[in-house]
Structure formats: structure tokens, C-alpha cells
């Protein structure tokens, strides 16, 4: 099962995020998926494939050229973990911040639990603080954030 789970995870990042293949979301996500660490613009945790699609459309709308590079994977039992690097350009307004045209590069980790060949649950820890600092929305110590 380990190689099957690695395939699912690699397909998730490559097809869903890098290739923008929305149809892969339905193929790989359990309809009742829980996405810990991912929230909508109101701060609600992602619950369900349809809720994930809204999150996905918003994030891809802001970063249409997003590339998620899977650097490492580790798996055990029904779980697989990926360490990733994310690269993108902020060209859309859909994350609540006017498009800046700035590139971002940040890291993250995602652990997925697979059940019946689909992603049933995920734990996500991506460095969104660094992303927002690179966009000028959050100031570095000693430096004020850019006003929008």
C-alpha cells in the first residue's frame, strides 16, 4: 500500500496543484475529507470536498502559476507525509489581498491519511506567514507592512 499512497500524494500535488486538473480533486478526495490547517477566508477549517474546492479556487485564483515541489516523502500505515516547496506569483485578488505581482517561495508539510484509495484526512503546515511577508502584507520585525 505504501507505493499506492505515494502515488496518490504525488498525483495530488502534481495534477491538482501544478497542472490545475480540477477533475483530479473528485477522483482523489473523499467527499467527507477534513483538511486540518487549511481554512477559508472566514477562518473555518476545510471540511468536505466541495469546501476544499472553494479554498482551491481562491488560492489558485491568487497564484495561477503555482508549483508545488515534493522534496521528500515518508509513509507508515495509512499515512504519507510530504515535505514541499511552493513557488508562485501573486497575480490575483482572491485571497483577500490585492494582487502584487510578487513571487513567493515558501515551504510546508502535508500528512495525508488514505482510506479506500482516497484522501480522507490531511494535516497541513505551510509557512503562510513567510508567504504574506513576501507579499508585503505582514511586516518583518522593525519594518512596517505595506498598507493596502
pTM: 0.88
Question: Does CATH number 1.10.3720.10 belong to domain 2-134?
Answer: no
CA distance 117 to 96: 34
Percent of the chain with pLDDT over 90: 82
Q: What are the sequence ranges of the domains in the chain?
A: 2-134
Looking at residue 138, its pLDDT comes to 86
Looking at residue 42, its pLDDT comes to 87
Q: Which residues contact 79 (CB under 8 A, 6 or more apart)?
A: 5, 111, 112, 113, 114
Looking at residue 144, its pLDDT comes to 58
Q: For residue 75, what is its C-alpha cell?
A: 509513509
Looking at residue 2, its pLDDT comes to 65
- The b/e string for 19-39 (b: 16+ C-beta within 10 A; e otherwise) is eeeeebbeebbbeebbbebbe
- Reported as a single tens digit per residue, the pLDDT across 115-147 is 999 999 999 999 999 999 999 998 766 655 555
Amino acid at each position: 500500500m505504501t507505493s499506492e499512497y505515494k502515488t496518490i500524494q504525488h498525483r495530488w500535488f502534481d495534477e491538482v496543484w501544478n497542472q490545475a486538473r480540477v477533475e483530479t480533486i473528485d477522483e482523489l478526495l473523499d467527499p467527507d475529507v477534513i483538511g486540518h490547517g487549511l481554512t477559508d477566508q472566514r477562518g473555518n477549517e476545510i471540511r468536505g470536498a466541495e469546501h476544499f474546492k472553494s479554498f482551491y479556487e481562491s488560492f489558485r485564483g491568487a497564484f495561477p502559476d503555482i508549483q508545488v515541489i515534493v522534496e521528500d516523502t515518508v509513509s507508515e500505515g495509512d499515512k504519507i507525509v510530504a515535505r514541499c516547496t511552493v513557488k508562485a506569483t501573486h497575480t490575483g485578488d482572491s485571497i483577500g489581498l490585492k494582487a502584487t505581482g510578487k513571487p513567493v517561495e515558501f515551504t510546508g508539510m502535508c500528512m495525508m491519511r488514505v482510506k479506500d484509495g482516497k484522501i480522507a484526512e490531511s494535516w497541513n503546515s505551510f509557512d503562510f506567514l513567510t508567504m504574506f511577508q513576501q507579499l508585503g502584507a505582514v511586516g518583518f520585525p522593525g519594518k512596517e507592512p505595506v498598507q493596502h
